[in-house]
């Protein structure tokens, strides 16, 4: 298990356009393992490469559904439909949430850890996670598109 430090909002690395993965080797598999370990340790539903300082197009997602852990290498959104509006947060800014409108159904084309292409469709939270994490690979954060910040009232 290798839990990495998560890069926080304000760090330039979260604003970079990441490079495609070209080699599907042990180094990638170790990165995927570290990313999953870090995501689960932080109790998040998704993590992108730049969030641990790796500027490569790699994403892990687990929204606790039948898909289990999803690994996306060089992912692209190829279809989307509908609309959902709701709270969204990011492991790079714990304790903050924004109100963000996203498509309700999203299909992604990506490569797996061996370089094989596949497609996956998600709805609801999974669709939101696809959009959020793939945005990270282009240096985009949810605060760029949120309608407003959601501030939780502290109990007196």
The answer to whether residue 90 forms part of the interface with Ni ion (CB under 5 A) is yes
d(CA 64, CA 40): 11
d(CA 79, CA 74): 16
- Of 90 and 106, CB closest to Ni ion: 90
Torsional sign, CA 54, 56, 61, 67: negative
Contact of 38 with 52, CB cutoff 8 Å: yes
**Catalytic positions:** 133
Query: Could you say which residues in the range 25-84 bind Ni ion, by CB under 5 A?
Result: none
- Of 84 and 115, CB closest to Ni ion: 84
Least distance from C-beta 26 to Ni ion, angstroms? 27
List the one residue out of 78, 66, 1 whose CA is nearest residue 33.
Answer: 1
Least distance from C-beta 133 to Ni ion, angstroms? 7
Query: What residues contact residue 139 under an 8 Å CB cut-off, 6+ apart?
Result: 14, 15, 16, 17, 18, 50
- Of 58 and 90, CB closest to Ni ion: 90
- Of 32 and 90, CB closest to Ni ion: 90
The answer to whether residue 6 forms part of the interface with Ni ion (CB under 5 A) is no
The answer to whether residue 7 forms part of the interface with Ni ion (CB under 5 A) is no
Please count the residues of this chain forming the interface with Ni ion, following the rule CB under 5 A.
1
Residue nearest to Ni ion (CB): 90
Binding site for Ni ion (CB under 5 A): 90
């Amino acid at each position: 298990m290798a839990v990495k430090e998560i890069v926080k909002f304000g760090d330039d690395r979260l604003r970079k356009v990441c490079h495609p993965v070209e080699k599907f080797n042990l180094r990638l598999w170790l990165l995927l393992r570290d990313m999953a370990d870090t995501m689960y340790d932080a109790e998040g539903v998704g993590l992108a490469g730049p969030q641990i300082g790796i500027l490569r197009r790699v994403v892990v997602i687990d929204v606790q559904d039948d898909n289990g852990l999803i690994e996306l290498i060089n992912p692209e959104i190829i279809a989307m439909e509908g609309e959902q509006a709701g709270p969204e947060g990011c492991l790079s800014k714990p304790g903050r949430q924004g109100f963000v409108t996203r498509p309700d159904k999203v299909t992604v084309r990506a490569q797996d850890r061996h370089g094989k292409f596949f497609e996956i469709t998600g709805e609801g939270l999974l669709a939101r996670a696809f959009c959020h994490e793939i945005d990270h690979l282009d240096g985009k954060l949810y605060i760029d598109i949120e309608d407003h910040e959601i501030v939780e009232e502290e109990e007196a």
